[in-house]
Amino acid sequence: MQNVSLVPLCVLLAAAAVHAQPPTFSTRREVVRVDVLVSDDGRPVTGLMPDDFELRDSGVLQTIDLARLESIPIDVVLAFDLSRSVAGQRLAHLRQAGAAVLGAFAPGDRVGLLTFSHVPTLSQALTDDPEPIRSALGRLEGRGDTALVDGLYASILVGESDGGRSLVIVFSDGMDTASWLPRSSVLDTVRRSDVVVYSVTTGESRDAAFLREVGKATGGGSFQVGSTAELARTFVAIFDEFRNRYLLTYTPTGVDQDGWHELNVRVKRRGAAVTAARPGYFR
Amino acid sequence: MPRILRRGVLPPLVVFLQMSLGVGAAAASGTERSGAGQQRAPSAVLEGVESWLRAVNEHQPGERDAAVATVSRWSGADLGALLTEGLLPLLRTCDRPVRQRLRTAGAIATPRPRRGGLADHEIAFIRRLALGLCRTHDGVVRETPPGVIDHLLRGGAILHGDAAMLALPDPETGAWPPTGTPRAHRPAGSSSGMSMLADGTHTFMPNTAAAHWAMARILVDQVRANPSDADASPARDPMVRSWYRASLAFMAAVPYVDTAHFKRAEELFGDDAVVHLLVGSMHEWMASDAVQQPMDAARRRNHQSRFPVGSARAELGRARRHLERAVRLDAALIEARVRLGRVLGLAGNHRDAAAELRQAVAAEPQPPLAYYANLFLGAEEEALGRLAEAGDAYRRAASLHPDAPTPRLALSHLMRRQGNREGALRLIGEVLAPESEPSATADPMRRYSRSAGRHARALLRDMVRLYLEAAPDSRGRAADPVR
């Protein structure tokens, strides 16, 4: 699997310059990004160079321009289910988990807080200042129904808004009862985005299955916790895993312009393997 | 409102209540039974019947008065005992034709009278009691002509309907009844009379409203409406029709599901477009994630038999059948067309869905139907790949409710699909901007699932008006119920 996205070249460069430019989406010269986790016996592998990877787009071998690790700041969107079922200790655990992510930050990282009940709300836009986020976490209050799919769509757009390296961590303790957007449509959006989505749920449901599919499609992952007391540890583990990913970039050659592009990434180094990346992308 | 008359009664709720609660449970009056499964003492029966008759006579429709408080304290077992041991023998005595109609009452089997019930002289006493309680605003009724009986039945249905409604959340505020208000328990193991309540937190909550609704259904089932007519039937009674419309609208507004209620409404008023619209809207809701997701959880816990809710596909099919019938019966009933379009789309039939919704939009319906029709049409046009038309429909919906997030969310997604990331981001930014949640009035989609019941209060008022207009005169002659 591999994690990929189509990003205009100027946007990618802007991301590398730590969000120096506002979002630009009109450039047609496209660079594909593949967010890849490489591990060996469960441990992240570091120190790999572009030549250590072999990447095929629709079966065609591509030339990797860049393989970077750790040096690119991360935009994290925390997308929290804040329906009325999130209250009391559950809400307290959610606040603690959000604060724990802040504790794992590195210089240049940014975090935003998006909540969803029957509608999504941006409680705090992306910022590198943890204080507004802490303040927003303190104001959280569960109410209303659950519009998880709508909330996920909104978090994807917020995550990709600056063209940086984006991670969305979705938490939901319930079932979607209020979304307007169909799951299939949002899954399509996800496949056209460069955002990596990890989800954390507390029980089995149609939405937990949907989030697993989203995680797989973005090269992210999904976790099911037995108790919200596990949220903080899980969030930090997700964040750490994401930071240890390689960001591969290449300009597609020899492949069709439109449609689904199946990706295949492998590591040439013995013992190492690609353990998370998106399986393809739409153009 | 003047005190008016009501009278005698019967029924088949008995089967439902007996099945689920056991026969001869605690007396309606609260007196003890002589033993498990045994009948109450005649005096207790008399007390129960008298209490019921007084409650029916004194109740002011729609009010949370002492009469409602009295019957609200009665459990399903109490109501069953009241019927089998008191009202049933009473009405069998005073109205012989009722017995025949019991056998053809429809969905529920005719209950057999219990042997060893009241003695003849006790029944006679109850009958006299009933006659004494049956009053109109201008006199005491000397006999119990059919019009008087019908009026008592209608009044009893109103009383128990009010008890059921007051045991459920307020459809406008969502507030539960005040603490201390009796909420009857849901009869365990019942299937035909199953009641399900999903309040948005994915919880099915037991309630006793089902027992009162069932009691009310049994009562209106005995209304004969123009008894001189060989085809006398509750289906010919305008108040009964109105009662079903109003009660269904109330259920849609909560929302509250009672499949036995739906079934009987359709049996009696299969020619009524409004009944089909309301029942169809409930099945549409039952097909939604708000019901299906908790049902999934219940099925995983092997509790599925308690809730007669079909799969989403099955419920959509039921909704479609009712809504198509509603449209055929009344082509001007735009809401039925809007919901039919929505249901067809959810079932994947986008072409027919779009055709229905285009007709609905062209009819220029009043709010909130115009908003719903345009939103749903946008979704169907989008599904058909007609993206420009979809955008037009979404924008029309947005213009009707500029503060509503749903049309902007839909437009954002449409733009994202068209590759316009900037436009998509700008619109989602507008959706995300408000720190405070938009109110339900800002976006009618928030209350779509219960909007079919938005006329419940008006329908209830209309039903009470018909009830009062049909009150017998001082001679016990009923107004002509078939108008």
Q: Which amino acid type is present at position A268?
A: K
Per CB-CB distance under 8 Å, the chain B contacts of A207 are 293
**CA–CA distances in Å: residue B184 to residues A110, B20, B77:** 54, 13, 10
- Residue B127, pLDDT score: 54
Task: Report how far residue B472's alpha carbon sits from residue B476's, in angstroms, rounded to the nearest whole number.
Answer: 5
Per CB-CB distance under 8 Å, the chain B contacts of A157 are 412, 416, 421, 424-425, 428
Assess if residue B358 is contained within a domain: no
Assess if residue B313 is contained within a domain: no
A95 close to A231: Cβ distance less than 8 angstroms: no
On whether any CB of chain B is under 8 Å from the CB of A160, the answer is yes
- Confidence band of B451 (pLDDT split at 50, 70, 90): very high
Contact A157 B428 (CB under 8 A): yes
B272-300 mean pLDDT: 89
- How close is the nearest chain A Cα to the Cα of B30, in Å? 39
Task: Report how far residue A156's alpha carbon sits from residue A189's, in angstroms, rounded to the nearest whole number.
Answer: 8
Lowest mean pLDDT among B12-26, B206-220, B426-440: B12-26
Provide the pairing of β-strand B139-140 with B195-197: unpaired
Assess if residue B295 is contained within a domain: no
Write the residue in A119, A150, A180 that is nearest to B438 by C-beta.
Answer: A119
Contact B290 A143 (CB under 8 A): no
A168 close to A200: Cβ distance less than 8 angstroms: no
Per CB-CB distance under 8 Å, the chain B contacts of A85 are 201-202
Checking if the pLDDT of B114 tops 90, the result is no
Contact B417 A144 (CB under 8 A): no
Query: For residue A153, what is the nearest residue in chain B, using CA coordinates?
Result: B413
Checking if the pLDDT of B332 tops 90, the result is yes
- Residue B82, pLDDT score: 82
Assess if residue B357 is contained within a domain: no
Assess if residue B301 is contained within a domain: no
Residue B163 is given by DSSP the state: H
- Residue A133, pLDDT score: 94
| % of chain B beyond a pLDDT of 70 | 64
Task: Report how far residue A220's alpha carbon sits from residue A237's, in angstroms, rounded to the nearest whole number.
Answer: 13
What are the beta bridge partners of residue A37? A245, A276
Checking if the pLDDT of B461 tops 60, the result is yes
On whether any CB of chain B is under 8 Å from the CB of A84, the answer is yes
Mean pLDDT of chain B: 74
Class of domain A74-242: alpha beta
Winning range, highest mean pLDDT, from B71-80, B83-92, B353-362: B353-362
Query: For residue B414, what is the nearest residue in chain A, using CA coordinates?
Result: A185
Provide the pairing of β-strand A280-282 with B135-136: unpaired
Using the Cα atoms of residue A185, residue A191, residue A195 and residue A197 in order, give the sign of their dihedral.
positive
Residue B40 belongs to domain spanning: 13-251+459-469
Task: Report how far residue A139's alpha carbon sits from residue B68's, in angstroms, rounded to the nearest whole number.
Answer: 43
B244 close to B223: Cβ distance less than 8 angstroms: no
- Residue A142, pLDDT score: 85
Contact A206 B293 (CB under 8 A): yes
Residues 6+ apart with CB under 8 A from B201: A84, A85
Assess if residue B246 is contained within a domain: yes
Per CB-CB distance under 8 Å, the chain A contacts of B426 are none
- How close is the nearest chain B Cα to the Cα of A128, in Å? 20
Lowest mean pLDDT among A42-46, B38-42, B144-148, B428-432: B38-42
Per CB-CB distance under 8 Å, the chain A contacts of B433 are 122
On whether any CB of chain A is under 8 Å from the CB of B435, the answer is yes
Mean pLDDT of chain A: 84
Per CB-CB distance under 8 Å, the chain A contacts of B448 are none
- Supply the angle between the helices B13-21 and B209-221 in degrees, to the nearest 10: 150
Per CB-CB distance under 8 Å, the chain A contacts of B432 are 114, 120-122, 154, 158
Of B191 and A156, the structure prediction assigns the larger pLDDT to: A156
| Residue range(s) occupied by CATH 3.40.50.410 in chain A | 74-242
Checking if the pLDDT of B30 tops 80, the result is no
Task: Report how far residue B99's alpha carbon sits from residue B102's, in angstroms, rounded to the nearest whole number.
Answer: 5
On whether any CB of chain B is under 8 Å from the CB of A258, the answer is no
Q: Which two tokens stand for residue B237?
A: 């009674």
Of B33 and B320, the structure prediction assigns the larger pLDDT to: B320
Contact A84 B201 (CB under 8 A): yes
Checking if the pLDDT of A231 tops 80, the result is yes
- Residue A144, pLDDT score: 80
B161 close to B217: Cβ distance less than 8 angstroms: no
A138-165 mean pLDDT: 87
- Residue B72, pLDDT score: 87
State how many domains chain B has. Answer: 1
pLDDT tens, residue by residue, A177-220: 889 999 999 999 999 888 999 999 987 778 889 999 999 999 99
On whether any CB of chain A is under 8 Å from the CB of B281, the answer is no
Write the residue in A120, A175, A188 that is nearest to B289 by C-beta.
Answer: A175
